[in-house]
Structure formats: structure tokens, C-alpha cells
Structure 1
Amino acid sequence: MRKLLMLFVTLLVIVSISLFADPIILKAADDHAEGYPTVEALKFMGKIIEIMTNGKYKIEVYPSAQLGSEKETIEQTILGAIDIDRVSVSPLVAFYPPIGVLTLPYVFRDQDHMWKVLEGPIGEELLKGLEKVGLVGLCYYDAGARSFYTVKKPILKPEDLKGLKIRVQKNPVMIELMKTLGASPVPMAFEEVYTALQTGVIDGAENNPPSYYETRHFEVAPYYSLDGHTRIPEVVLVSKVLWDKLTDEEKLIFKTAALASAEYEKYLWNQWEEMALKKVQEGGAKIFHPDVTLFQKAVQPLYDRYPAYKEFLERIQAVK
């Protein structure tokens, strides 16, 4: 009886500690605004972690780049000043070059192919590689596909881009893509694009459906060709400083919560895309679906300029 009583008291102490101990607060960074799919997914991940650890960990999400730009938050995550970070693959390339293969144009045939790659051995290998630079990659989030929209005519084949002035991000790969397809790349601040399209300074631009809708670019460039030339995913990172402090059980909880949040984020993103495509068509935009294989063949010379990605490219293209 005495042993049973002692066991009961011990259990009460354990439960009391889990219920009343102050939670460990973890900082999570995202540069998007409240309500954006990635922000909501991070919050969802945080709730799962809090529940599954009996309140030991509580995640506070800081949206709208409150903790800095993506480059800055990556640096802080490596140092352990930020615990969890949601960033695009693009700025990660400077820290871990192999993951840059995911930023190449037309590397994925379509959305289904992308997820087979990211959720398969290749995607896991790239996430694992991030540990070399002090980061732990938990999962990928969807960021949609960037496609061309133009003022005077749709882009249905590579030849349609010849001679056109297309706004691009200040990104070497995107600049090379335009040149390879025969267009003239025009690096330009995002805020200037609407007026540039309206006044004829540029003939077109490229972005994903939600951005095309939210910027009202469909009003001045109504031809939207869904070629999906880049499908650059997002990544959820954990600082290795934090990761090494977690128990094996906690690591499993964090990974499971991240994967669940990835599914939630996909659902939210698809909703955003469907809404955006519906709204732009209601606003007068015309949607086109060009043959992507024509563009993939046309950009082969660009791939040849990145020999470091050759093995990964071949493996990605072999995924069925």
C-alpha cells in the first residue's frame, strides 16, 4: 500500500509539473503577413507541438518580417536566436548551394511531379544536407508556380517571347532564363510593375496567381499563360542549436507536426490559387495552358551552365 501511495504521489508531481510549469517559448519567423498560408500553417504546427508535448513548448509566430528579411532570419536561425524559420528555397542557396537545383526553371513537369520529388528521397536528402550549415529542414511548403502574363498576346510557345521585354526579379537564373528564351529581361522593383505594364515600358511579367490577382496586374496584362516555369518551394527550418537539445521523442513530434502543417498549407494554398484564378477571369483576364515540354527543351542550354546540378537534375527528371 505504501509503495502504491508513493507511486500515486510521484505521478501527481509529474502531472503538476507538466500542467503548471512555464512553457518554453520558441520564436518562429515568417516574412508573409497574417492570414497567408505559410503563416497559418506555422501556427497550426505550433498548436500540434504544444498539445503533443503537454504544453512544454509554445511557438510564437512573428509574421510580416518582424524578425528580419529571409536572409537575416536564416542567419539568426543558424545562431539559435530564432528557433523555427519559414523561408523560400531561394535565399537558402547562399548557405547551402545544392538546394539551388530546386530554383531552376522547368525542373518540375507539374505540381504532382514536384511533390513526388520533394516528398521522396531527393527532397529528404536536400533537407538533411542543411544540417551541415546549422539548420534542420523539417518539410516543404507550397509557394505555387510562376507563369508569364503579357499585355498584347499570350505566350504559348518559347518563340512567343522573342523580343519581348519581361520584368524579372533581380535573380541571375531568371535573367538567364529570359535570355535563353529570346526575351529581354528587365530587372525591376515589384511596386513599379503595374505602371510599367500600363505605359509599355515592359511587355509582360511573371508571377503566381495570387500575386497576379492582388497586384491587379491582370488589369493591364490580361494574357496569363500557365507555363509554371519555376516552382520554388518554401522550407520550414529548425535551428540545430534547438534540435540538439530535443529528446528523440520531441524530435519526432516536431517532424510529425511539420509534416501535418505542410498538408494544411497545401490545402490553404490551393484555395488561394483557385480564388485568384477565378477573380482574374472575372476581371477580364484570359487563361492559357501552353505545352510545357516545348519550354523544357528550349532551356536545356541554361541547364548546361550549372554543371554542379547535373546529377540532381537527372535524378529529378527520372522521377515518374
Structure 2
Amino acid sequence: MTLDKNLKKIVKATLIGAAFAALASPASATTLRGASMFDGNHTFTKTMVKFGELTNQYYKGDVEFDLRLNGELGVEKDYVTYLNQGIAIDYTILAPSNMARFAPSIPLMDMPFLFRDLDHWNTVLSSNILSPLEKELSDKADIVIVGYAGGGTRNLISNKKISNLQELSGHKMRVMGAPIQAQVFDAIGAAPSAIAYNEVYNAIQAGVVGGLENEAASIQNLKFYEVAPYVTKTAHTITVRPIVFSGKSFRKLPADLQAAIMKAGKEAGAFGRELESREDAIKLKQMADAGQVKVSDFANREQLLVMVKPVQDKFAASIGATELLEAIRTK
């Protein structure tokens, strides 16, 4: 199904749903629709549920949260379009790289090898250092960041063991669509390719690519281990996953609900970061203990950090973010 047809289908369903909701609910009720690609056990979903609970706690009016799971409303690429156009959904959690076509600088916060460790990552996300990127996203994509979740450590997942630069050389792997993702992995010798997330499993099965890079929760939830059982601990990314709201939807809300959403988003983000960073190692161990994955370290990982630095510097310069990158590095 093409994106245009999918959009028409979603819009039609949304309008019909809104009509029924109007008949069934009091006129004063506000319904906000969210979307998750995952089931109720995924940290993204749990974080969005927490976001709804906190908003209800801080808002004195009548607001309901309609959170659709398991990719019912599409994948993240679709969500970005819906949020930008102000249709179908009001909020979700997104990978920054999936918003690159609207805000070219936003993938900086998702750039591989950006954070030294979890403490560095949490310090950056707890500050206002990323505010220039938030403004660009709002101005160019009409998408508002209300909080920062994430915390999963992304590693290489492949259909063969990869434990050093020689074995990584020429490895065909799926990366997210932002050019910086492909540039970084190309710099360390892999052969990256941007493939739609919902096509990755079949692409590995068919031999189009030999793997991808991802965090434990998604490997487990989407069963990537069935086609790519080798996990190499490159720890190249500690995920930044903004909780985002459609600007068009946000502006229609009363001021006190907007304030509640911003407060709830910040707290739900902190909740999601703690949850995901804690569960990440647990989920990886669960899969290893069950024999679903075979985990190995990457030899001389420090060499990777040296190899990617020129690519990071060039990307930051191209988007006028050299000072921002340096501020993140020295935070």
C-alpha cells in the first residue's frame, strides 16, 4: 500500500472515529491519539502510557488518550508525516533520524558514537543543550519535543559473527534513513543501506542485507534474532528518543492542557530513560540465556571512535552545529 493510500485510509478512519467519539463523549472532552509500533511491553509504549497518566494528573479538564499499538497506524516514517500534517495522530516517540527529511540537523542527537556513556547521555538530555535542534524541528517540521526518552544501547545484529574490523569490512547492513547514519558506518568499513524498518526482517531473510543495528528491546519485540542471531557489542549509540507532539494539534489545545503536556512530557521522558536503560541489559541477557542470540565484544572498539570523528565533524559543520557538537562532547 502506498503512503498516499495509507494516508487516505488513516484520515477516513480518523474522521469516522471522531464522529463516533463526538456522539459518545461530552462536548468538553479532548481525545489525543498516540501511536506505537510495539506492544504493551515495549518501553516506548510504557513511556507513552506514563505520559498520558501524568498529563491527566496535571490537567484539571477532561482528556482521554487513545494509544494505538503494534504498528496499527503504520511505522515511524508514517508518524512523522502525520504529525507534520496534523492528521491521524497527536503524539508518539520517534528516532531523530526519521525526522531528517523535515529538519536536516535533528539527526545530530542520534548520531552514532556521540555519547561517551550513560552518565554523559543523561547529563545532556537533562539539560537544555539540545534546544537549538528543538527549535529547528518546531520551525521546519511543526513537531514539538515535549520530553526525551530512550536509553537503549544499540549494537550490531547480524546473520554471521562480526567481532573486528576485518569481519565488519563490506558487511551489508540496514541503517536509518538520515545520511549521517550511512556515513558513519561507511567510515568504519561496513556497507550501509537505508531500508524501511518494516522490511528489514524479510531483507535479512532474503539476503539483501546481512543485519542491522538496534537495541535489545526491539530485537526481542520484533524477533530479529530469528534471522540475525549474532549481537556484537559496539555500543555505538545510546538512543535519544524524543516524545513528540504535532504542532498543529498542540496549538489547538487550551493553555493549561499545553502546560500539563510539557510538564508530563519532561517527567515521562525521565521515566522512559531510566526504564529503558535498566531493561536494556536485562533483555539482552534474557535472549542470550534463551539461546536466541550469541553476544560478543568488538575488538579495538576505541579505533572506531577515531575513525568516525572526521565524519561527525564534517556533518556538524555542514549544518552549522560545530559549537553544539563540541558542547555535547565536553558536557
* TM-score bracket for this pair, using the shorter chain length: 0.7 to 0.9
Q: d(CA) in 2 for partners of 1:79 and 1:35? A: 29
Q: How many residues align?
A: 295
What SS is found at the alignment partner of 2:112? coil
What SS is found at the alignment partner of 1:78? helix
| Contact 1:165/1:186 (8 A) holds in 2 | no
User: 1:151-202 CA deviation, whole Å, 9 max, x = no partner?
Assistant: 665535x45533x4232236343433333112334666421365468xxx86
Equivalent residue, structure 1, for 2:48: 42
Q: d(CA) in 2 for partners of 1:43 and 1:71? A: 21
Matched, 1:77 2:65: no
What SS is found at the alignment partner of 1:32? coil
Matched, 1:310 2:322: yes
Equivalent residue, structure 2, for 1:29: 35
Matched, 1:144 2:152: yes
Shifted more, 270-279 versus 33-42: the winner is: 270-279
User: 1:217-249 CA deviation, whole Å, 9 max, x = no partner?
Assistant: 657766533222233422222233343344544
Equivalent residue, structure 2, for 1:106: 113
Letter in 2 for 1:235: P
| 1:173-184 mapped onto 2 (5 Å cutoff) | 173-184=180-191
Q: CA deviation at 1:141?
A: 1.3
Equivalent residue, structure 2, for 1:135: 143
Q: d(CA) in 1 for partners of 2:247 and 2:295? A: 47
Q: Given the superposition, is the C-alpha separation of residues 313 and 34 from structure 1 closer, same or farther in structure 2, using an over 3 Å criterion?
A: same
Q: d(CA) in 2 for partners of 1:289 and 1:37? A: 27
| Contact 1:90/1:103 (8 A) holds in 2 | yes
What SS is found at the alignment partner of 2:94? strand
Q: d(CA) in 1 for partners of 2:193 and 2:260? A: 46
Letter in 2 for 1:74: V
Matched, 1:298 2:310: no
Shifted more, 107-116 versus 186-195: the winner is: 186-195
Q: CA deviation at 1:85?
A: 3.0
Q: Given the superposition, is the C-alpha separation of residues 143 and 93 from structure 1 closer, same or farther in structure 2, using an over 3 Å criterion?
A: farther
Q: CA deviation at 1:304?
A: 4.5
Higher Cα Rg: structure 1 or 2? 1
Unaligned stretches of 5+ in structure 1? Answer: 1-19
What SS is found at the alignment partner of 2:163? coil
Q: Given the superposition, is the C-alpha separation of residues 91 and 186 from structure 1 closer, same or farther in structure 2, using an over 3 Å criterion?
A: closer
| Contact 2:95/2:110 (8 A) holds in 1 | no
Letter in 2 for 1:251: Q
Of 76, 97, 103, the residue aligned with 1:90 is 97
Q: d(CA) in 2 for partners of 1:74 and 1:227? A: 28
| Contact 2:145/2:242 (8 A) holds in 1 | yes
What SS is found at the alignment partner of 1:238? strand
TM-score (structure 1 length as normaliser): 0.77
| Contact 1:166/1:178 (8 A) holds in 2 | no
Equivalent residue, structure 2, for 1:229: 236
Q: d(CA) in 2 for partners of 1:242 and 1:187? A: 30
What SS is found at the alignment partner of 1:122? coil
Q: d(CA) in 1 for partners of 2:120 and 2:77? A: 28
Q: CA deviation at 1:150?
A: 5.2
| Contact 1:167/1:193 (8 A) holds in 2 | no
| 1:180-191 mapped onto 2 (5 Å cutoff) | 180-185=187-192, 189-191=199-201
User: 1:55-92 CA deviation, whole Å, 9 max, x = no partner?
Assistant: 42222112233334333333332333333232221121
Letter in 2 for 1:230: T
What SS is found at the alignment partner of 2:77? helix
Shifted more, 211-220 versus 145-154: the winner is: 211-220
Q: d(CA) in 2 for partners of 1:184 and 1:35? A: 33
User: 1:122-146 CA deviation, whole Å, 9 max, x = no partner?
Assistant: 2233223332132221011105232
| Contact 2:201/2:224 (8 A) holds in 1 | no
Equivalent residue, structure 2, for 1:12: none
| 1:165-180 mapped onto 2 (5 Å cutoff) | 165-169=171-175, 171=177, 172-180=179-187
